[in-house]
């Protein structure tokens, strides 16, 4: 588990330059965040070719929408991760009409956030805060949340993957999020 350092001030400057249609800024931005965004879409789509097509679209969107980036919507990295995740989730849903993905092909990356935590170099206070708050969740709550967020699985797919009733999984996720919120806002 290795998380690179991201400098949100630098990323924000790069987005401002992208909004001004400076192509060199997009290239630098690409070098900074591309491997992380690729990991995000790859975990959801689970096919390299699709994930690469999607990554391409994501950077075109970042380029086009850089002018709409707004600090109110969170930090620049979180904003870009969201563009990547929503695109991948939408695509996954449209793919599922025809292709049923095999749930046992899940990557092995799903880790509770507190594992191995002492060796992680934290890139932000948010990450540290989330990690600390994830600790107060039960293990099933952590795992169901990670499956839904990292792999883009629906409630039904999380339930199938964890071999648990749908209602149980829905309540794990909902209660997990409520606990996280209380913890993060306290």
Partner 1 sequence: MNYARGDMIEMLAAEYVVGTLRGPARRRFERLCTVSAAATAARGRWEDRLSALALQLTPVEPRAEVWRNIRASLAADPRARIGERPRMTRWLPLAVAAVLLGIAVWLGPRLLPQIEPTVMVTVLGADPAHAQWRVERSADAHRLRLVTIAALAANPDKTYELWALPRDGTPPVSLGLLPRQGDTARALSERQAAALLAAGKLAVSIEPPGGSPTGAPTGPVVMVGVI
Interacting positions 90-109 with partner 1 (CB under 8 A): 90, 93-95, 97-99, 109
- Whether residue 44 contacts residue 85, with contact meaning beta carbons closer than 8 Å, is answered with yes
Please pick, from the candidates 49, 104, 105, 118, the single residue that binds partner 1 as defined by CB under 8 A: 49
Alpha carbon distance, N-terminus to C-terminus of the chain:
28
Please pick, from the candidates 103, 106, 123, 136, the single residue that binds partner 1 as defined by CB under 8 A: 123
> Which of 147, 149, 145, 146 lies closest to 171 in space, CA to CA?
145
CB of 36 to partner 1, least distance (A): 5
Tokens 């025809």 sit on residue: 98
Is residue 119 at the binding interface for partner 1, with CB under 8 A as the rule? no
Given the complex with partner 1, which of 126 and 164 has the nearer CB atom?
A: 126
Please pick, from the candidates 131, 136, 140, 160, the single residue that binds partner 1 as defined by CB under 8 A: 131
Is residue 15 at the binding interface for partner 1, with CB under 8 A as the rule? no
Is residue 177 at the binding interface for partner 1, with CB under 8 A as the rule? yes
Is residue 27 at the binding interface for partner 1, with CB under 8 A as the rule? yes
Please pick, from the candidates 11, 15, 45, 55, the single residue that binds partner 1 as defined by CB under 8 A: 55
Q: Please give the size of the binding site for partner 1, defined by CB under 8 A.
A: 78
Pull the structure tokens for residue 114: 């507190």
C-alpha 147/C-alpha 135 separation (Å) is 16
Is residue 45 at the binding interface for partner 1, with CB under 8 A as the rule? no
Please pick, from the candidates 7, 12, 16, 38, the single residue that binds partner 1 as defined by CB under 8 A: 38
Tokens 């964890």 sit on residue: 162
Is residue 89 at the binding interface for partner 1, with CB under 8 A as the rule? yes
Angle CA 77–127–157, to nearest 5: 80
Please pick, from the candidates 9, 68, 78, 138, the single residue that binds partner 1 as defined by CB under 8 A: 78
How many Cβ atoms from other residues are within 10 Å of residue 166's Cβ? Answer: 13
Is residue 167 at the binding interface for partner 1, with CB under 8 A as the rule? no
C-alpha 79/C-alpha 129 separation (Å) is 18
On the CB side of 28, CA atoms within 13 Å amount to 15
């Amino acid at each position: 588990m290795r998380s690179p350092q991201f400098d949100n001030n630098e990323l924000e400057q790069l987005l401002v330059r992208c909004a001004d249609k400076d192509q060199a800024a997009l290239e630098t931005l690409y070098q900074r965040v591309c491997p992380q965004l690729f990991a995000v879409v790859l975990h959801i789509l689970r096919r390299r070719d699709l994930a690469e097509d999607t990554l391409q679209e994501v950077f075109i969107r970042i380029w086009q929408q850089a002018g709409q980036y707004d600090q109110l919507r969170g930090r620049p990295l979180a904003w870009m991760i969201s563009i990547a995740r929503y695109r991948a989730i939408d695509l996954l849903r449209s793919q599922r009409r025809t292709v049923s993905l095999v749930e046992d092909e899940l990557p092995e990356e799903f880790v509770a956030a507190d594992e191995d935590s002492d060796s992680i170099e934290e890139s932000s206070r948010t990450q540290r805060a989330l990690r600390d708050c994830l600790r107060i969740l039960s293990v099933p709550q952590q795992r169901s949340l990670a499956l839904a967020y990292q792999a883009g699985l629906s409630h039904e797919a999380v339930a199938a993957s964890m071999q648990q009733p749908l209602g149980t999984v829905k309540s794990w996720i909902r209660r997990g999020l409520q606990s996280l919120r209380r913890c993060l806002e306290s």
